[in-house]
């Protein structure tokens, strides 16, 4: 059951986080775009915001060592605050060094638009967006390099908690009982689908004196919620069981029949999120790449098992060779088959190689028999070894998903995308071949000394040429003969390969320049791989190893 967020919960969470993070030393940010999560890596622990609506939550983990792709951010949290009557949390970090002196980490739980945004210069107006977890569409969609726009201010009454019982009762009694829930949510600040039923109580069904008493009780509960949201009183966190059977943390009891006190909201989130409490802070892209390795390992198991099952009978092959030699006078060269009477007196058709004499056809059958024997001897052990490796990888995926492995340990299990020294001293082609999701061929250079060959001898003028900006790495060519630009998805996948095949591969986001190959030229006497490029456009991509595994051609 997905967790829900409302303005009261976010405000109380902000107060709890400000206390929890007091004095904590921030080291880095981890943006896991495939997994839709943001982790703040403190020396004292890791705060993880899971922002997928199906698995959302906020959890505290043991300290995590920063990885090469993380964004270094040394500093301390100055304050945590929530926007008034809204589901937006802002953590202000004072940097230990460098400029600008402060950044805001903004978490938004707006319906259908859960996101995390890193904003520089927050004290200068709304600040400039530097990192975005999820790319969205619409007027408020955050864009790197542009000001961050907060949601419109709430227009509901009572954001300051000042609504008299008389006005409260008057406004809600004017609406028939069946419509009061909608009226409550539209009229009064700090109300939400999480607390509306508890606030209304019997007033959602009854009029008259019973409805009036319920509205008075609801007003009192609303005042308590607002006092918690505005930090006028301490929260008393509970874990509520929802009608769908899930566990939902909340800062105050809502008079539900099934509520359990918890020490903190973070404890409640850990319990309510179930497996999320043990969710790994490892980037999802690494886990997906490891899972892909496991898929390939099981495919190898099936291939070996199939080869063993289809291995020919060496006794039958050897018997056919014996039969050819025994009836060699009946075997005419130049034919591709012959009918012979075997040693049991039965006519059998024997396949032949028409280019070989009879005795060499017999030798061919003996060679096939020997290979079949060797295959039957070695394949069972190979199948067993392959099954063991596939199960090992499955276990590693499980351990990584539970947070029992480090990202470094996962990365060590993955094949390197960069040039593999010592293995291919004289490749037949200057590039490796990949296939995009749309079926377009992508060529990735095998290193600096092969880049020129790929670009100027293995690419057409209208092909798309890509290279990671300001980083040494491979030239990449997306073969393209269609009208206009290639599809955005295929172009982005080629850009990811360019990022992975560069020295910027460990960065979280890599700028990749692209243009038509005809706009790339080689200056005279320039070193290998150095080119001059015109009419350049730039894509910003995440160097996700899982993309390389998925696009790799066997």
Read off the pLDDT of residues 205-260 as tens digits, 9 standing for 90 and up. Answer: 988 888 899 999 999 999 999 999 999 999 999 998 877 667 899 999 997 657 89
Question: What pLDDT does 311 receive?
Answer: 79
Q: How far apart are CA 216 and CA 221, in angstroms?
A: 9
Q: What is the dihedral of CA 395, 400, 405, 407, to 10 degrees?
A: 130
Cα distances (angstroms) measured from residue 455 to each of 121, 157, 449, 450, 463: 42, 64, 11, 9, 10
Question: What pLDDT does 411 receive?
Answer: 78
465 and 500: one domain?
Answer: yes
136 and 31: one domain?
Answer: yes
Quick one: tokens of 43?
């020396």
53 and 131: one domain?
Answer: yes
13 and 147: one domain?
Answer: yes
443 and 545: one domain?
Answer: yes
47 and 150: one domain?
Answer: yes
138 and 41: one domain?
Answer: yes
Whether the CB-CB separation of 222 and 191 falls below 8 Å is answered with yes
Question: What pLDDT does 378 receive?
Answer: 82
Q: Does 424 reside within a domain?
A: no
Question: What pLDDT does 276 receive?
Answer: 42
Question: What pLDDT does 202 receive?
Answer: 92
134 and 112: one domain?
Answer: yes
Q: Does 442 reside within a domain?
A: yes
103 and 201: one domain?
Answer: no
Cα distances (angstroms) measured from residue 336 to each of 302, 333, 344: 33, 9, 23
Whether the CB-CB separation of 512 and 542 falls below 8 Å is answered with no
Q: How far apart are CA 519 and CA 535, in angstroms?
A: 7
Q: Does 422 reside within a domain?
A: no
Residue ranges, the chain, pLDDT below 50? 275-279, 417-427, 554
32 and 62: one domain?
Answer: yes
**CA atoms within 13 Å, Cβ hemisphere of 272:** 34
Cα distances (angstroms) measured from residue 552 to each of 97, 317, 412: 42, 38, 19
Q: Does 421 reside within a domain?
A: no
Final residue of a domain: which of 194, 213, 229? 229
Quick one: tokens of 275?
């497996």
Instruction: State the total domains in the chain.
Output: 4
Parent domain of 547: 431-551
Would you call 524 exposed, middle or buried from its count of C-beta atoms within 10 A (0-12, 13-18, 19+)? Answer: exposed
- CB within 8 Å of 443: residues ≥ 6 apart: 431, 432, 433, 434, 454, 458, 459, 476, 477, 479
Quick one: tokens of 155?
């227009």
In the chain, % helix, strand, coil (3-state, to 5) comes to 35, 20, 40
Q: Does 350 reside within a domain?
A: yes
> What pTM was computed for the model?
0.56
314 and 196: one domain?
Answer: no
Cα distances (angstroms) measured from residue 324 to each of 113, 242, 312: 75, 79, 18
Question: What pLDDT does 375 receive?
Answer: 79
Q: How far apart are CA 123 and CA 128, in angstroms?
A: 10
CATH number for the domain that contains residue 75: 2.30.310.10
93 and 107: one domain?
Answer: yes
Final residue of a domain: which of 412, 446, 469? 412
Q: How far apart are CA 554 and CA 551, in angstroms?
A: 9
């Amino acid at each position: 059951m997905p967790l829900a967020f409302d303005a009261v919960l976010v405000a109380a969470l902000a107060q709890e986080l400000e206390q929890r993070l007091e004095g904590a030393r921030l080291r880095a940010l981890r943006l896991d775009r495939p997994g839709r999560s943001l982790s703040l890596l403190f020396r004292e622990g890791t705060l993880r915001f899971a922002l997928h609506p199906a698995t959302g939550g906020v959890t505290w983990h043991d300290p995590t060592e920063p990885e090469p792709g993380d964004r270094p951010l040394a500093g301390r949290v100055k304050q945590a605050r929530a926007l008034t009557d809204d589901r937006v949390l802002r953590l202000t970090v004072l940097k230990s060094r460098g400029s600008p002196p402060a950044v805001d980490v903004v978490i938004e739980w707006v319906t259908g638009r859960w996101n995390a945004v890193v904003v520089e210069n927050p004290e200068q107006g709304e600040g400039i967006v530097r990192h975005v977890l999820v790319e969205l569409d619409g007027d408020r969609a955050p864009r790197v390099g542009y000001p961050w726009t907060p949601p419109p201010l709430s227009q509901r009454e009572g954001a300051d908690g000042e609504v008299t019982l008389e006005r409260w009762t008057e406004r809600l009694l004017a609406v028939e009982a069946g419509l009061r829930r909608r009226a409550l949510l539209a009229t009064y600040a700090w109300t939400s689908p999480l607390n509306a039923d508890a606030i209304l109580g019997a007033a959602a069904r009854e009029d008259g004196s019973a409805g009036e008493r319920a509205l008075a009780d609801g007003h009192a509960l609303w005042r308590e919620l607002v006092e918690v949201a505005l930090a006028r009183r301490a929260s008393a966190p509970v874990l509520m069981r929802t009608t769908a059977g899930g566990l939902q943390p909340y800062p105050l009891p809502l008079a539900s029949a099934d509520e359990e006190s918890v020490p903190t909201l973070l404890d409640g989130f850990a319990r309510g999120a179930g497996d999320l409490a043990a969710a790994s802070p490892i980037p999802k892209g690494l886990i997906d790449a490891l899972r892909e390795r496991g898929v390939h390992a099981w495919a190898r198991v099936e291939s070996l098992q199939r080869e063993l099952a289809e291995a020919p009978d060496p006794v039958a092959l050897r018997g056919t060779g014996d039969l050819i030699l025994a009836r060699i006078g009946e075997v005419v060269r130049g034919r591709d088959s012959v009918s012979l009477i075997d040693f049991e007196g039965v006519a059998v058709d024997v396949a032949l190689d028409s280019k070989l004499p009879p005795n060499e056809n017999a030798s061919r059958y003996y060679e096939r028999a020997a290979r079949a024997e060797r295959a039957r001897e070695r394949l069972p052990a190979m199948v067993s070894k392959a099954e063991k490796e596939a199960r090992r990888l499955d276990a590693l995926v499980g351990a990584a998903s539970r947070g029992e492995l480090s990202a470094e340990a996962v990365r060590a299990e993955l094949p390197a995308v960069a040039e593999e020294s010592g293995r291919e001293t004289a490749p037949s082609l200057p590039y490796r071949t990949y296939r995009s999701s749309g079926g377009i061929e992508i060529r990735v250079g095998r290193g600096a000394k092969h880049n020129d060959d790929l670009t100027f001898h293995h690419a057409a003028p209208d092909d798309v040429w890509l290279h990671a900006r300001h980083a040494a790495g491979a030239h990449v060519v997306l073969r393209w003969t269609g009208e206009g630009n290639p599809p955005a998805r295929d172009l982005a996948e080629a850009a990811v390969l360019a990022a992975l095949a560069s020295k910027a591969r460990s960065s979280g986001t890599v700028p990749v320049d692209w243009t038509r190959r005809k706009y790339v030229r080689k200056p005279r006497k320039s070193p290998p791989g150095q080119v001059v490029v015109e009419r350049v456009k730039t894509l910003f991509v995440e160097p996700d190893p899982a993309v390389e595994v998925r696009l790799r051609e066997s």
